[in-house]
Every structure is written in structure tokens, then in C-alpha cells.
């Protein structure tokens, strides 16, 4: 969402730490990517402070409906599950979708 800077900051740190080519974007009015007709806001399934992790093939690997207390920790768990280095149950997050 447009108010998801904490997720972008966490993703940048984790991408560097893991050596991953991870692109990050804020989507909304005046942000990296625009949503002029509100379609994205209707489809994304999270608040302005939430986030999604999308695999290179376009599959949503994880979705956070709102801001997390520790975005870096949740994103690290999601990346581990997506990359196959832990199980989805090990994430401990009820909204985690793999």
C-alpha cells in the first residue's frame, strides 16, 4: 500500500542480506506505481499499510493485510518459506499464504 514504507525498507535490507534481486514498489497516488482507477486497491487484499510478496512468476507468495510490528521478521520468514528453506507452519503467522 501507499503507506507501506516499513515493508520496503525491510525488503531492501533482506534482499542485500540474502543476495536476492528483489524489486519493491509503493502503489498509490503519487507513489512509484499509480492506481488511477482504484483497481489495485480493490484487488490487493490489504490495507494501505499492508504488503504482498509476489514471486517472479506472478504468484502471490505472502500477504500481510496490515502493518506488522516487525516487517523484517515476517518478510524474512516469508522469503524462507518461498525459497524452500522453512515450512509455512514454521512462520507462525495466521495470514501467511504460501
pLDDT tens profile 38-47: 777 778 777 7
3-class DSSP assignment, residue 54: strand
d(CA 41, CA 37): 9
Q: Residues with Cβ < 8 Å from 7, sequence gap 6 or more?
A: 24, 51, 64, 71, 75
Which H/E stretch holds residue 74?
A: helix 71-83
d(CA 48, CA 89): 26
5-63: pLDDT as tens digits: 899 999 999 999 989 888 898 887 777 788 787 777 778 777 778 888 889 899 988 88
Amino acid at each position: 500500500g501507499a503507506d507501506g514504507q516499513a515493508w520496503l525498507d525491510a525488503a531492501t535490507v533482506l534482499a542485500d542480506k540474502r543476495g536476492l534481486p528483489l524489486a519493491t514498489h509503493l502503489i498509490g497516488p503519487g507513489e512509484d506505481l499509480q492506481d488511477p482507477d482504484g483497481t489495485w486497491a480493490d484487488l490487493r487484499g490489504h490495507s494501505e499499510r499492508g504488503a504482498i510478496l509476489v514471486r517472479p512468476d506472478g504468484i502471490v507468495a505472502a500477504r500481510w493485510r496490515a502493518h506488522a510490528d516487525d516487517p523484517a521478521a515476517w518478510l524474512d520468514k516469508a522469503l524462507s518459506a518461498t525459497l524452500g528453506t522453512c515450512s509455512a507452519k514454521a512462520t507462525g503467522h495466521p495470514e501467511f499464504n504460501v
